[in-house]
Structure 1
Amino acid sequence: MTDDDRIELGLELLAHLEHGELSVKEAMDRIEIVTTSPQLQRDILDEAARRGVVEREGGTVRPVADGTYVSFESDVVVKEGEFSCQRCGAGISEGHFVQFDADEMGPFGSTCIRKVLGRE
């Protein structure tokens, strides 16, 4: 996956934030799922603001679109197999994958998928 691909995936993730407002730290925690590069994380957040995906005011990030959050029923696919959770690294036999237009994100364990999507 190229940096451009990671940026697009990060933009989709930010566009689908369930909460109406996050701190920059919380947004960066979510972006960390896409890349661990601090520079690329900043690039994703900056690009999201430039493209109007999010509004950034001080230490707060707000998604522009309302009601576009990820649906567990239609946007998350569960696959059986031997996986390592992309968030915590644990071995899992059931991987949860988020389906975005740019790419698929995952696998995540059942607890980590909820954390990644801001449900916990």
Structure 2
Amino acid sequence: MSTDDPVELGVQLLARLEHAELSLPELIDRIETVSTHPETTRAILEEAERRGHISRDGETVKPVSGQFLSFESEVVTRGGEFECRRCGASISTGYFMKLEAGEHGPFGSSCIRKVTGRE
């Protein structure tokens, strides 16, 4: 399944986070790699919570799915001229997440670890 639906892409991203918990601003940092539109951000949060991918307690968010991305098969790298979706840096190697809703990226080497929870 491949879609251009940012809400579905964002929900799938949140379902695959490796963090034990994040603050709400840290979670929004991850969502903003998909969309910076406030209504879309809210829709992603609400849908991820409704589906049971995250639980919220005030400003603390805990991913609950335990279905982490496999860096061997679900994160691909490509060489080229890219701009990191998280920090905006120019990168020559882009890391892309392969989610059911579509590919999400590119990210630089440190941002892919931060977004997924490996760092």
TM over 0.5: yes
Any residues of structure 2 matched to 1:56-71 within 5 Å, and which? 56-66=56-66, 68-71=67-70
Counterpart in the other structure of 1:90: 89
Q: Which has the higher contact order (CA 8 A, sep 6+)?
A: 2
Unpaired segments ≥5 residues, structure 1: none
Q: % of aligned pairs identical? A: 58
The count of aligned residue pairs is 117
Q: What displacement does 1:39 show? A: 2.0
- Taking structure 2 as the reference length, the TM-score comes to 0.88
Greater fraction of residues in helix: 1
- Letter in structure 1 aligned against 2:114: K
CA distance in 2, matches of 1:55, 1:103: 24
Secondary structure of 1:72's counterpart equals coil
2:114 aligned with 1:115, yes or no? Answer: yes
Note if contact 2:52-2:65 (Cα within 8 Å) is conserved in structure 1. no
- Letter in structure 2 aligned against 1:14: L
Counterpart in the other structure of 1:14: 14
CA distance in 1, matches of 2:9, 2:118: 19
Counterpart in the other structure of 1:28: 28
Q: What displacement does 1:7 show? A: 0.4
Unpaired segments ≥5 residues, structure 2: none
